[in-house]
Structure 1
């Protein structure tokens, strides 16, 4: 069947389809660009063509050779993970193309429909998802009811600003600064007046977690570990730039309220959340992740299982050998399980399986805590947080590469 499809596919059609495919993969590569080249190359082979991809995080040079002619296309796309429904829909399309079930023109039409599709959830559900996402993360900062109450308010403010950026794309360029400034002002003026509720940084972080580039940091480290030096280095610089924007917004909030940076201490309040609330918090977190990142709701249960597996492994191993070892083992287990599951044609893509479990490892918050603690004049504690950030980022990246390597069968073609 594949041969028949290849026989009628014109070189221009093949090149146009592969260019559209590369563009969508590039735009959804917020967790890393490692699989793009292999996916495009293997798909091209199935169409009787040859393809090479030269990648940077926000661009690609695609060269396609088909029917004795060669075409080169330059593509640009901002990497993100906010429309994972498109990533889910892309996997069966690529599978059908490789198996020869559909022609190239039909594949191109289906891909165009995926690109132009509307998000699976209305705006108000995405807003709710961002709030639930922050609420699920709040107990990791401080296991207190006060933290959850403050996060409900601050997370709603952050969600409204995020949706505003969806409607006004130009606003997105300054979104991290605006969000962190607003969260900083409200935290200082409303929630951080009583020191018994913990430091202001711990009250701010859950609401900012949706914008903290922990995924970019780990993706950059994973790309460096996999040998994608240019892509990993550029992504690392961008992740640090996003962190600095959030940090700048926090400082602007302090300046607007006339608050000294000395208030940016990192003191945890006495925990008062029951164990059942901590356990159920991961359900809230996973539901929020689905709604915030446009993941089809039918994937709730497998993703929830992966979240609890990741949390359980990290907790158990951390008690035995420490936080770095626990994070490394949890990342390796998560990557291995996700890699094995995604080999089945009826399973979602690896990126979707990894994302919620990955967020439980809470990388980027360490960077924010380190920067704000340094700004408060607490030099030793600030550098300890930053050093911990470097260590944990590396542990996650190497753990994921290690787990994927162990679980990946030989000569298995790449997939989106």
Structure 2
């Protein structure tokens, strides 16, 4: 279809602006892993529609300016960034591809985008609940590789999952959800599971159940945006991630106060391992299945995501033995980012964010912040600051690794093809 007959070039400026505003809004709301791709996606899509677009971004808002046929319009958008409906991110990729290729006009594109926005989650509430539980169970052996940790996480993860699903039905409670969950988990852990110190510290028993709410993704996304030159978005996202982390920390303390437990109980000592190797290996399958259900990722993507998870874990383990934990995490992040970037270039593959997410979670950066804060609250100053220093180091290693891997994996014609280099232009 030639440029003179493409339906989208005949669209009225209002139609183009409305579609791009809706596209920007959806991209903004699904940018919990970083806003670096939003501006370039909108700009290239606008160009395919015969318009020019600029986007001024902050993590929870965007100002979109669309210029077409000598006319200019500006729209201000608001949206809380998250990663909980990744099925919408997956569905958005073929729509944007069709618009850029001239196969879809503005009216049809707007209709398809509206259908994506109003679509129901791919899984019912009880499957999301199961997903959060599996997500926490898969993470449990990383804290302590013991059967007791797994059993405690099964109970505590179910409590956290019930509260998360309940918040979906009553959105007004979402802002205090991390506080409520961490308080409930803290009370149950102290009263039921942490009475015998031989099972490890209470923080290690709590963390798997809280992992779904720990903002490790926001912390690393913030650091990656800062490394890529998105100073404003990175700095604001970093503050927001710190606030969420502190909210979880305060909830843990509230649980201690409600039970009359001293903060000295917040020691960070792991129990002796008793999980066999096969359980550790199969745990990543449980974790990946849980990630799909919890974050609404289409189940057909399980094989690809499972491969990326095992590659990330394998690379991190091997590199850690060779060059230490920080170096191993950096190498694993770079390999994951390179693989996800390359795979996402193919039209039949999901977006980079979806490919990155499960493997990224295996790097477990967010738990270090919680461990550091709670250990400090328990009066163990040296151990607490050591965890916090480790958090800063690992966050930076992951962020720089993700940026490096993406840059190395991008084709030479990334700008012409509309790929999104992680740098400010």
What is aligned with 2:258?
Answer: 256
What is the CA–CA distance in structure 2 between the aligned matches of 1:174 and 1:271, rounded to whole Å?
35
What is the CA–CA distance in structure 2 between the aligned matches of 1:6 and 1:159, rounded to whole Å?
44
**Contact 1:144–1:269 under 8 Å retained in 2:** yes
2:387 paired with 1:382: no
2:347 paired with 1:342: no
**Contact 1:2–1:98 under 8 Å retained in 2:** no
What is the CA–CA distance in structure 2 between the aligned matches of 1:8 and 1:308, rounded to whole Å?
48
What is aligned with 1:20?
Answer: 22
**Contact 1:220–1:236 under 8 Å retained in 2:** yes
SS in 2 for 1:72: strand
- Counting only pairs closer than 5 Å after superposition, residues 75-94 of structure 1 correspond to structure 2 as 75-94=77-96
Shift in Å at residue 232 of structure 1? 0.2
What is the CA–CA distance in structure 2 between the aligned matches of 1:76 and 1:38, rounded to whole Å?
18
Shift in Å at residue 187 of structure 1? 0.1
Shift in Å at residue 6 of structure 1? 3.4
SS in 1 for 2:36: coil
**Runs (5+) with no aligned partner, structure 2:** none
What is aligned with 1:402?
Answer: 404
What is the CA–CA distance in structure 2 between the aligned matches of 1:237 and 1:269, rounded to whole Å?
34
Shift in Å at residue 410 of structure 1? 2.5
SS in 2 for 1:54: strand
SS in 2 for 1:353: helix
CA RMSD of aligned residues (A): 0.9
What is the CA–CA distance in structure 2 between the aligned matches of 1:166 and 1:135, rounded to whole Å?
21
**Contact 1:176–1:245 under 8 Å retained in 2:** yes
Runs of 4+ in 1 over 4 A off after TM superposition: none
What is aligned with 1:66?
Answer: 68
SS in 1 for 2:364: coil
SS in 2 for 1:193: coil
- Counting only pairs closer than 5 Å after superposition, residues 7-406 of structure 1 correspond to structure 2 as 7-406=9-408
**Contact 1:2–1:99 under 8 Å retained in 2:** no
What is the CA–CA distance in structure 2 between the aligned matches of 1:77 and 1:399, rounded to whole Å?
28
What is the CA–CA distance in structure 2 between the aligned matches of 1:232 and 1:368, rounded to whole Å?
21
What is the CA–CA distance in structure 2 between the aligned matches of 1:238 and 1:249, rounded to whole Å?
17
Q: Given the superposition, is the C-alpha separation of residues 415 and 296 from structure 1 closer, same or farther in structure 2, using an over 3 Å criterion? A: farther
What is the CA–CA distance in structure 2 between the aligned matches of 1:97 and 1:272, rounded to whole Å?
54
Query: In the TM superposition, what whole-angstrom CA distance separates every residue of 1:301-347 from its partner, at most 9, and x where no partner exists?
Result: 00000000000000000000000000000000000000000001110
SS in 2 for 1:43: helix
What is the CA–CA distance in structure 1 between the aligned matches of 2:419 and 2:57, rounded to whole Å?
16
Q: How many residues align?
A: 416
Query: In the TM superposition, what whole-angstrom CA distance separates every residue of 1:207-235 from its partner, at most 9, and x where no partner exists?
Result: 00000000000000000000000000000
What is the CA–CA distance in structure 1 between the aligned matches of 2:372 and 2:420, rounded to whole Å?
37
**Contact 2:56–2:62 under 8 Å retained in 1:** yes
What is the CA–CA distance in structure 2 between the aligned matches of 1:296 and 1:415, rounded to whole Å?
24
SS in 2 for 1:35: helix
Q: TM-score scaled to structure 2, two decimals? A: 0.97
Query: In the TM superposition, what whole-angstrom CA distance separates every residue of 1:287-307 from its partner, at most 9, and x where no partner exists?
Result: 000000000000000000000
Shift in Å at residue 415 of structure 1? 6.8
What is aligned with 2:419?
Answer: 414
What is aligned with 1:6?
Answer: 8
